[in-house]
Structure formats: structure tokens, C-alpha cells
Amino acid sequence: MQVTFIGLGIMGSRMAKNLLKNNIKLTVFNRSPEPVQELVKQGASSANSVDEAVAEADIVITMLSSPEAVKQVMLGDRGGLASMKERALWIDCSTVNPSFSREEKQAVDTQGKRFMDAPVAGSKPQAEQAELIFFVGGEEPDLLEAEELLQLMGKKVIHVGEASKGTSFKMLVNAMLAQSIVLFSETLLLGEKMGLDQDFLLKTMPGLPVVAPFVQAKTDMIRSGDYDTQFSLELMYKDLHLASITAYEYQQPLYLANLTKELYAHATQNGLGRADFAAIHQFLSEKKQRYG
């Protein structure tokens, strides 16, 4: 099986490394050359263009930052999709909105190829350790063909339903993530304002059943003020924007998620976009200090 991996950012580069560790014949492509060079040292083949990268692939995996990036790289007359072999399988692991996933599926169907959306739960540590969870939307036979490959990069594969359903579920997960860390940070700051010790709160609150389990992994960041990026704040802002678009398409109100989106927008405007999304705590803390 010939596999091509496109998009070698924080997540994609680590996912590709895990494929190489398992002796997958892998071609990689990225718009910036540095991650490509690193993977070539580990046994990957490189390509000079997306067309060249996908031409012989049985499976093409994309992990790109936004619907706009996916469209630029894969769709249209100059996109990689047009150069894929007939009946080749495109697995898009990018976090995009469901209506865009349906556009991808329609484009694939018109060209006689196959498509699955398979966004992931997890960030940099889970990508490094091959502990991602894949949310798959697509046909059962395609999943059966690709499942072993996905399991080399993750610990669990969940078939949510038809194409776009994996993306739909991932949207819910990220909306909860974004809101949960805001809730925790706001509550933590109130506790400090009432005179409770921050270290006590950071040790005690994440273990309570009312707190989302992932918060435990963010407490060291909050304690130290070092928000080394595992999943960037600007990408979480993008995901909240996509959730807002989707809610509009379905005429479904998102009161708290839209308020949270505006907090992430303001934090991005204040220079925190490239930090981990847990840096929303820093933004809220600075506002507390400014306004008392």
C-alpha cells in the first residue's frame, strides 16, 4: 500500500512519524520544507508538488489547518484530488465544518474516487504517542480498508456514520473543550479573588467530578504561565467559528459557544493566538487585573 500524507504541522508531522515507525511506504508533502526534510531522514519520500505526491497513492491523508487550506491544496482544477488514482481513498483528518465535508464528498464522487472524514481527538502528546481517537464519517468498506492504518496513529477508531458525521462529532467535542477551559479559568480566578490559594485550587479542583478530565493536563501551564502549544488558541477560535457557521446553517442557537468564540477572538487579537488554547486563562487573568 502506498500512502501519502499532506500537512505536517504539530499534529500531522507526528502522525506521519508513527506511520514510518510501522514501516508504511510513505510520501509526504507540506507547503513549508522543514518538516518534510525531517521525515525524509526517517525514511519518507518527498514530492515537489501535491500532484506528484498523490499520483501513485492508494490512500491520501490530509491534516490541514482550515477548510480554506484543504480547498487550496486538494480541490479545484489544480488541487491534489484531480491527480489521485481512480478509486483511491482520501482521508481528511482536518477539522472542518460538516457542510464543507459534504462538499469534499461531492467533489470526490464526481471524480470516481473515495472519501472519509476522520478528524481526531487529542493534541500534540497524543499524536506523538499514537493515542489519538479518530471520528470517522464514511462508508463501512472504506473504513475496513483504512482502519489498521488509522490504528497505527491512534488508540481508537469510532465510526460515527456517513461522510461528514465524523466532522460533525468533532465539532461538538471542540466546542465543549473551548468552553470547559473558559469555565475552569473563570472559576479559578474567582476563587483567587476570594483569597483561596491558587496552588490549592489547581491541585484540588481538577480532581472533582464537575471538572472536565482534560483540565488536569492544563494545570501545569496555568501554574507556570508557560503555554507551550499543543493545540493553538487561534485554531480553537477557528473551530468555534466553524461551529457558529454550522449552527446558523441549522438555525440552532449557540449562546455560550458564541460568547466563548468572542473571548478567543479577543485573546487572539491580544497576541495569544499561537499559544496553547489554555492561554485563555492568561487572557482572562489579565482582564481581571485590569478591571479589578
**Which helix (H) or strand (E) element contains residue 284?**
helix 280-291
Contact 60, 6 (CB under 8 A): yes
d(CA 198, CA 165): 40
Res 287: pLDDT: 74
Q: Are residues 143 and 17 in the same domain?
A: yes
Please give the full DSSP string across 60-71, using - where no structure is assigned: EEE--SSHHHHH
Look at the chain and report how many structural domains it folds into.
2
Among candidate residues 122, 146, 162, the one where a domain is terminated: 162
- What would the pLDDT profile of 137-166 be if each residue is shown by its tens digit? 999 999 999 999 999 999 999 999 999 999
Domain shared by 68 and 115, yes or no: yes
Q: Do 98 and 46 share a structural domain?
A: yes
What pTM does this model have? 0.94
Please indicate, yes or no, whether residues 120 and 145 belong to a single structural domain of this protein: yes
pLDDT recorded at residue 291: 46
Residues 150 and 82 in one domain: yes
In which domain, by residue range, is 22 found? Answer: 2-162
Whether 68 and 198 map to the same domain: the answer is no
Looking at the structure, do residues 40 and 92 belong to the same domain, yes or no? yes
pLDDT for residue 77: 78
- Let me know whether 44 and 142 are in one domain: yes
Q: Which residues are catalytic?
A: 170
* CATH number of the domain within which 263 lies: 1.10.1040.10
Clarify whether residues 157 and 183 are in a common domain: no
| Boundary residue ending a domain (146, 162, 178) | 162
Question: Are 154 and 191 in the same domain?
Answer: no
- Whether residues 22 and 107 share a domain: the answer is yes
* Contact (Cβ atoms closer than 8 angstroms) between residue 108 and residue 117: no
Query: Which pLDDT score, from 0 to 100, does residue 290 have?
Result: 54
* DSSP classification of residue 85: P
pLDDT tens by residue, the chain, 292 residues: 899 999 999 999 999 999 999 999 999 999 888 999 999 999 999 999 999 999 999 999 999 999 999 999 999 778 999 999 999 999 999 999 999 999 999 999 999 999 999 999 999 999 999 999 999 999 999 999 999 999 999 999 999 999 999 999 999 999 999 999 999 999 999 999 999 999 999 999 999 999 999 999 999 999 999 999 999 999 999 999 999 999 999 999 999 999 999 999 999 999 999 999 999 999 999 975 554 4
Residue 146: predicted pLDDT:
97
Residue finishing a domain among 142, 162, 182: 162
Same domain assignment for residues 156 and 188: no
Whole-angstrom Cα distance, residue 160 to residue 137? 6
